[in-house]
Amino acid sequence: MENSMNATELQKMIDDDYFPKCTGWEHISGLEYLGKMVVNRRRDVAYNVVSSQKRTHDNVASRSHQHNTSFKGGIDPTKPNPVLELKNTGTYDQVDGYGRDAGFDKLDWDHYVYDVFKCRNEIARADLRFWLNRKMPKEDNAEQDLINGYTDLVNRKRIKSPTLESLTKKLKQVEPHRDAKFLGRVAQAILDRTGKSNKPEIDKITSYTADTLISQYVKENWANEPVYGFVNGLNTHPLSGDKGKHQGSINSGKRGNASFKVKMYDAFRRYVKEGVQTEYILRIGDANTVEQLNTLRKELWNNIKEYMTLHPHDDWDKAVNILGFVPQHNNEDVKNLITVDCI
Q: Could you list the pLDDT tens digit for every one of the 343 residues in the chain?
A: 344 468 898 999 898 888 888 888 898 999 999 999 999 988 998 866 544 554 444 454 444 444 444 444 556 666 788 999 999 989 999 888 777 777 777 788 889 999 999 999 999 999 998 888 775 534 456 788 888 889 989 988 899 889 989 999 999 888 887 888 889 888 888 888 887 423 445 567 888 999 899 988 998 889 888 877 888 898 876 666 667 899 999 998 644 456 889 999 999 999 999 999 999 999 998 788 888 899 999 999 999 999 999 999 889 999 999 999 999 998 888 899 999 988 8
Exposed/middle/buried for residue 262 (C-beta within 10 Å: 0-12, 13-18, 19+):
exposed
Beta bridge partners of 249: 281
Q: What is the domain extent for residue 290?
A: 207-342
Please tell me the distance from the alpha carbon of residue 64 to that of residue 72, in angstroms, as a whole number. Answer: 12
In the Cβ-directed half-sphere of 40, how many Cα atoms lie within 13 Å? 5
Last residue of a domain, one of 168, 194, 220: 194
Instruction: Report the pLDDT value the prediction gives residue 247, as an integer from 0 to 100.
Output: 92
Amino acid in the structure at residue 155: N
260 located within any domain: yes
Are 140 and 14 within one domain? yes
199 located within any domain: no
Are 61 and 97 within one domain? yes
Q: Give backbone dihedrals phi and psi of 337, rounded to 5 degrees, phi first.
A: -70, 155
1 located within any domain: no
Instruction: Report the pLDDT value the prediction gives residue 241, as an integer from 0 to 100.
Output: 66
CA angle, corner 185, sides to 181 and 188, nearest 5? 135
Phi/psi zone of residue 275: left (φ > 0), alpha (ψ -120 to 50 degrees), beta?
Answer: left
Are 139 and 16 within one domain? yes
Are 34 and 156 within one domain? yes
